[in-house]
Amino acid sequence: MNHIGSTLASEAAALRTPPAEMAVAPQALAWGSAAPACPPFANRGGEHLTFVRVSESVDWATMSVGPVAAKALVGWSELEEDGNAIRGFRRSELRKCLGGKVWRRYDPHQSSKRWGLDYESWESSGDGSGMVADFLRGQECKPTRIDVAFDFSCDESVTSDRVLEMFRSRAEEVGFSIGVTGQDGVNTRYIGSIKSERRIRIYRKDLQDEVVSEFFGPIMRIELILKGDYAERWWASWSESTVAGFDVASGVVADMTGYSMRDTNAELVEMVKPEGSDPASSVSALLNQYGILIAACERAGIPLFDLAYERAESAGISAQRRGRRFVDDVREIGAKQVTSLVRRKAI
């Protein structure tokens, strides 16, 4: 997870004396319809509570890519070692790229609505993540998880627990859970559950990485984890520019905590449904993958739909939201019309 590693020596001197452009305006922009005007997290003032933003980075990227982007990534990287079957893919390999390493997973078990069986998953952390995110701009891909890290220099006495208390009021106001891992005061604090499409991780990076500690001193990391629709909507902004991507990430953090990570924030874009995301295509993909098994369950007397309803009731909020959206889409088109379209696709 070290995004600093390869440039530590060259940046260390500069970070000890932060440049003038890191000064933060007295009041950052508001984000989101429900968010109050958000003060900047940097330069909070007060005893031991001065934060100076020293870096921002894409620290994790999990991307599904189509055949053209997959071929480009293979050419851009170098094989280091073969891996095993992992998480829905029959084959995997660890590859080297500029800035780090990346896992390539290919030969999938399940079909994709967008690419059928002709797709791969590429996953990277640390320096390699930003390189992969830059490389894939404008290419045929879909993010499933993106982590954006904001790093701030701070006083040695400042803990993640103390920062969490700054964020608690807004986080609880908008309904996010609060979590913690660690012991002996060296804690990682969380805003949002592990299943949430938006989650924040707060921790002292220097206490986890001796190299960071030696070159930079105390560093407080505020790390935003985006999944599902939020990752896709963030990617739309990142595809326009790096600045837009970080502005949007700062806006999401501001909405969750009440504090801005940058001088400016931006809202997540509304996504336009890609071609092939209609209900008929979704049902066709389901039947192509599991139609035979569904029919076999019915013949065998397994109450598949009763089981499906039971599973749906215990599903997460995001999954239930997608289910309701699907029902709304079908009602708008008409169930008979969707059925007709599915049968045509099978011809």
Under the banding of pLDDT at 50, 70 and 90, the label for residue 188 is very high
Long-range contacts of 206-213, Cβ-Cβ distance < 8 Å, separation of 24 or more: 208/1, 209/1, 209/2, 211/2, 211/4, 211/5, 211/8, 212/2, 212/4, 212/8
220/65 Cα distance (integer angstroms): 33
The pLDDT of residue 115 is above 70:
yes
Which residues, listed in sequence order, are joined to residue 226 by a DSSP beta bridge?
A: 146, 198
Give residue-wise pLDDT tens across range 256-269. Answer: 999 999 887 777 76
Strand order through the sheet with 219-227: 78-82, 89-97, 100-108, 120-125, 52-65, 141-153, 219-227, 198-204, 186-191, 178-183
Pairing of strands 178-183, 141-153: unpaired
CB 128 within 8 A of CB 100: yes
Q: pLDDT at position 272, please?
A: 55
Residues 6+ positions from 285 with CB-CB distance below 8 Å: 111, 112, 113
pLDDT of residue 168: 94
Q: Looking at residue 16, what is its pLDDT?
A: 31
3-state class (DSSP) for residue 144 = strand
For residue range 190-242, list pLDDT tens digits in order: 999 998 999 999 999 999 889 899 999 999 999 999 999 999 999 999 999 99
pLDDT at residue number 85: 93
Which has more pLDDT, 183 or 156?
156
Task: Report helix, strand and coil shares of the chain as percent, to nearest 5.
Answer: 45, 25, 30
Alpha-carbon Rg for the chain, nearest whole angstrom, is: 23
Q: How far is CA 225 from CA 56, 61, 82, 162, 191, in A?
A: 14, 10, 28, 21, 10
Tens-place pLDDT, residues 79-106? 999 999 998 999 999 999 887 899 999 9
Residue 283: the pLDDT is 84
Residue 38 pLDDT > 60, yes or no?
yes
Sorting pLDDT into bands at 50, 70 and 90, what band is 185? low
pLDDT for the residue 287: 82
Instruction: Please tell me which of 17-21, 96-100, 149-153 the model is most confident about, judged by mean pLDDT.
Output: 149-153
pLDDT band (50, 70, 90) for residue 43: low
Question: For the chain, what is the mean pLDDT?
Answer: 82
| Pairwise pLDDT comparison (83 vs 329), residue with the higher score | 83
pLDDT of residue 246: 95
> Tell me: the pLDDT tens digits for 268-298?
766 555 444 578 877 877 787 778 888 999 8
pLDDT at 172: 94
Specify the pLDDT at position 44.
55
Instruction: Give the pLDDT band (50/70/90) at residue 7.
Output: very low
Instruction: Tell me the C-alpha distance between 145 and 121, whole Å.
Output: 11
Per DSSP, the three-state class of 201 is strand
pLDDT for residue 72 is more than 90: yes
Where is pLDDT greater, at 9 or 160? Answer: 160
- Phi, psi angle pair for 200, to nearest 5°: -120, 135
Beta carbons of 112 and 119 less than 8 angstroms apart: yes
Q: Going by DSSP bridges, is the β-strand pair 100-108/89-97 parallel, antiparallel, or unpaired? A: antiparallel
185: left (phi over 0), alpha (psi -120 to 50) or beta: left
Higher pLDDT, 37 or 138: 138
